[in-house]
Amino acid sequence: MVLYDPERRWLDRASCRTVHPERFFAPNGSQLDRAPAEITQKIWDDAKKICHHCPVLEQCRRDTRGEEYGVWGGLDEHERYQARKRLTRGAWKKWPEELQLQWGKHLARLRQGELTWHQIKLRTGLPVSVSEALIRRWEAHQAQQVGQVAEVVDLPLPEPPKILKDFPATPGQRHGWVRNNGLIADGWYAGHTEDGAWVRMQVFSGRGNVIKFFRAKDVRFYNPQPRWTVPYHGRPDADDVSEDAHVA
């Protein structure tokens, strides 16, 4: 059973690969909990016309439910927000049991890796409360299975999969490659923390150029720049604390 493709290997066959990305993003975006402005909706509707003839429409829609901005898989950001809200209200409980258990198992593996809840939400499109419920559902199933044949004992979770994507072998057009929410982005250097554990980079997202901090292991420079120190206010002490970010 294929839950989703975190590598999005279908992108090479997508109709949008030959279209400028700006056609899929409204300049000012929208407030997700309300209907968009008329001009924003028109931009999205025009983009959806491209999606409707795409050979990988279903795969794109399946794998981009967590995207916060723009049109993906024929759905705009307001529609994806509504879909995530339906999951929060319990729509996932109507899934077949096998699908619930497969998701629970996969999410448990991700939590054993280095992904935060926010990163899991962006990657899978599942709200945190839904992910937690699916993990509990899988763990309860595992305990029940063990209890049917022997005394219940603590079992280690399966080894987590390799979730860190390799950096490209060739240089980009800026300063360095960055692992950003499970994908590789090309970024501009904007400073280090004093201990060198965090690197401040500027990368592009659907809402424009965003400056944020990344762990040093998630940055590889192909065009090294003079190093300077910048403060990191609100620096996380645990994996579950989201990284600070602001729009450039």
Output the pLDDT for position 210: 82
Output the pLDDT for position 239: 44
Can you name the residues that pair with 83 across neighbouring β-strands? none
Output the pLDDT for position 26: 84
Output the pLDDT for position 241: 37
Identify the residue whose tokens are 């079992």.
Answer: 155
Give the pTM.
0.57
Q: Are 13 and 56 in contact (CB under 8 A)?
A: yes
Q: Tell me the CA distances in angstroms from 202 to 28, 56, 137, one per residue in order.
A: 19, 30, 39
Q: Tell me the CA distances in angstroms from 72 to 35, 37, 78, one per residue in order.
A: 17, 19, 11
Is residue 95 helix, strand or coil? coil
Question: Please, what are the averages of pLDDT over each run of 10 residues along the chain (248 residues)?
Answer: 90 92 80 80 93 95 91 93 93 94 94 88 93 94 75 64 76 92 90 92 78 92 92 64 40
